[in-house]
Every structure is written in structure tokens, then in C-alpha cells.
Amino acid sequence: MNGSNAPMPHLLVVYLDDEPGALDRVAAIFRRRALTLHSLTLSPTREPGCSRVTLEVDAEGATFARARASLEKLVCVRRVESGGAREHGPSAPHPSSL
């Protein structure tokens, strides 16, 4: 964690309807809470009409739980999976490996 007291980045995988503005709604959940996103990848899935967003966010504990609960309230979100906390590595894994 580079010796700082900053929160550990947490990994989230969000499955959402493939429609205009859906990514905006996901990102806004973090923006309005002044949380920083470290990485974000949008990719298609085999599920028809469903995209996958893989993101890393600087949040933990109750803040992380609140953000996740708010994501799950979005109409366009099908489900949310949590990847837990990870140390910063030299490079983020490619989403296809998650």
C-alpha cells in the first residue's frame, strides 16, 4: 500500500444492461461519494444484452459496503460481485483473467 494510510483498493465486478448511460450510472455512485476509481474496464459478456464492468475503487469497510449497496439499487445493474481487497501490484491484471 506504499506505506500510506489510504484505503486498500477493492475490486468490484458489475454486470449491467447494455444500454446508453449505464456506465455513467455506475461511475456516478463513486463520484458522488468522492471515491477514486483506479481502474475500470467495460467488456461484453456471453449473456445477451449484458456488459461487465470491472473496477477498482479506493474504499473499504462501511464506505465500500454503502457504495456496493447503492450499485445494487441501480435498475440497469443485474448483479454485483466483490473481488475483495488487493495490494497494488506493478500492473493490474487484465479483466479477462478475473
Angle at 20 between CA 37 and CA 80, to 5 degrees: 50
By CB under 8 A, residue 35 contacts another protein: no
Grid cell of 95 as nine digits: 479483466
Residue with Cβ nearer another protein (13 or 27): 27
- Shortest reach from residue 73's CB to another protein, in Å: 6
By CB under 8 A, residue 33 contacts another protein: no
Part of the chain binding another protein (CB under 8 A), chosen from 36-44, 46-54, 63-71, 81-89: 63-71
Please check whether residue 35 is in contact with residue 67, taking contact to mean a CB–CB distance below 8 angstroms.
Answer: yes
By CB under 8 A, residue 48 contacts another protein: no
**25 CB contacts (<8 Å, ≥6 apart)?**
74, 76
Grid cell of 77 as nine digits: 445493474
Q: Which positions lie near another protein, rule CB under 8 A?
A: 17, 20-21, 24-25, 28, 32, 62, 65-66, 69-70, 72-76, 78
